[in-house]
């Protein structure tokens, strides 16, 4: 296929795919790769607390004597789940709002776009923290609460993007013909408009996953989310709160940050590769 060939010859895209495959494999194989469970204390007597990296504990131990390497491995799956799920929420909401606003126009477009502008101008972290506090405790401090908060705050740019594309598409001849034969608005939107905007949504989703992972890490770092859930952001928070840098436990602080950077780079590289595939002007001649 032409698409596969273009992607294969895109070095940045292949690097991104390789990093993503690596972390996906780590997430699935965590029960076999991790030396300990995510909450297992290596020594209940406390002699193994805050240990530096060694042959036994490659990344050292935390303030509760838990193996840092094991917690990073177990945290991979939660980080990926939050990234994909939150992106699905924001992409779905943004696509619906963009399609409805662009197709119907007039008052519907005006109302939805003013709502979109509101979400665009409010700082993400402020809005996310407010939502996290307002949500019920059994939702706001769980993985589902984090997914909801990121999804509900990240849809506005996608809505603007899809609306612009929809405004162009609804003037095309095939849409006019569909209206002429009596197709309902819902049928026109989902049968004719949606397939044409989907590639744009897909490309935007790849880049949004990176943003969602960064956002989730930031929310866990500031203390939002269930303390019993293991994520890279939570490990960073624990290392910072327990003074890992001042104690010389640099690996405890460094490694979850490196993992976050790598997975964000992976999706960013994949997004650039998709830009080349979807935009003929960017393809190498």
Domains delineated in the chain: 2-7+71-282 (1.10.3720.10)
**For residues 275 and 285, which has the higher predicted lDDT (pLDDT)?**
275
Q: Select from 160, 162, 172 the least CA-distant residue to 197.
A: 162
First to last CA, the chain: 17
Model pLDDT, residue 282: 47
How many whole angstroms separate alpha carbon 273 and alpha carbon 285? 15
**Position 155 pLDDT exceeds 50:** yes
Distances (CA, A) of 161 to 79, 86, 91: 26, 18, 11
The pair phi, psi for residue 92, each rounded to 5°, is -65, -45
pTM: 0.86
| In the chain, % of residues over pLDDT 90 | 21
- Token look-up 């960073």 returns 236
* Residue 23 reports pLDDT greater than 50: yes
- pLDDT, position 204: 86
- Give the model's pLDDT for residue 183: 76
Check residue 46 and give its pLDDT: 54
**pLDDT, greater one: 32 or 56:** 32
- Tens of pLDDT along 112-121? 999 998 888 8
Asked which of 4-8, 108-112, 169-173, 220-224 is least confident by mean pLDDT, the reply is: 4-8
Residue 108 has pLDDT above 80, yes or no: yes
Q: What is the pLDDT of residues 86-96, one digit of tens each?
A: 999 999 999 99
Backbone angles phi, psi at 41, to 5 degrees: -90, 130
Tell me the mean pLDDT in the region 158-170. Answer: 88
pLDDT at 62 over 50: yes
Task: Return mean pLDDT, the chain.
Answer: 83
Question: Could you tell me which residue, 91 or 248, shows the higher pLDDT?
Answer: 91
Give the tokens for residue 52.
């530096």
Which residue shows structure tokens 């519907």? 108
> How many Cβ atoms are within 10 Å of 45's Cβ, its own excluded?
8
Angle between helices 250-278 and 11-28 in degrees, nearest 10: 130
Structure letter (DSSP) for residue 40: -
The pLDDT of 243-252, averaged and rounded, is 84
Task: Report, in angstroms and rounded to the nearest whole number, the Rg of the chain calculated over CA atoms.
Answer: 22
More confident residue, 228 or 31: 31
Mean pLDDT (whole number) for 126-147 = 71
* 3-state SS class at 66: strand
Q: How many helices (H) and strands (E) does the chain have?
A: 14, 0
Identify the sign of the CA torsion 120, 123, 124, 126.
negative
């Amino acid at each position: 296929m032409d698409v596969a060939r273009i992607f294969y010859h895109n070095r940045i895209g292949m690097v991104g795919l390789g990093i993503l495959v690596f972390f996906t494999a780590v997430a699935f194989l965590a029960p076999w790769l991790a030396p300990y469970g995510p909450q297992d204390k290596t020594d209940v007597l406390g002699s193994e607390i805050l240990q530096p990296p060694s042959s036994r504990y490659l990344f050292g131990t935390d303030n509760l004597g838990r193996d840092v390497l094991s917690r990073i491995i177990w945290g991979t799956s939660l980080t990926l789940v939050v990234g994909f799920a939150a992106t699905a929420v924001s992409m779905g909401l943004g696509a619906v709002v963009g399609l409805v606003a662009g197709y119907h126009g007039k008052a519907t477009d005006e109302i939805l776009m003013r709502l979109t502008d509101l979400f665009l101008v409010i700082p993400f972290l402020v809005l996310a923290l407010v939502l996290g506090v307002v949500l019920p405790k059994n939702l706001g401090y769980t993985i589902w609460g984090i997914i909801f908060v990121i999804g509900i705050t990240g849809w506005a740019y996608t809505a603007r993007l899809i609306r612009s594309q929809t405004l162009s598409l609804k003037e095309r001849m095939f849409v006019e013909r569909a209206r002429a034969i009596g197709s309902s608005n819902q049928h026109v939107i989902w049968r004719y408009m949606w397939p044409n905007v989907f590639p744009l949504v897909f490309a935007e989703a790849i880049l949004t996953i990176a943003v969602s992972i960064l956002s989730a890490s930031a929310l866990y770092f500031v203390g939002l989310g269930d303390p019993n859930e293991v994520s890279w952001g939570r490990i960073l928070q624990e290392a910072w709160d327990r003074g890992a840098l001042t104690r010389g436990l640099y690996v405890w602080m460094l490694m979850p940050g490196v993992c976050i950077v790598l997975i964000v780079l992976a999706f960013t590289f994949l997004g650039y590769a998709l830009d080349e595939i979807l935009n003929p002007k960017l393809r190498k001649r």
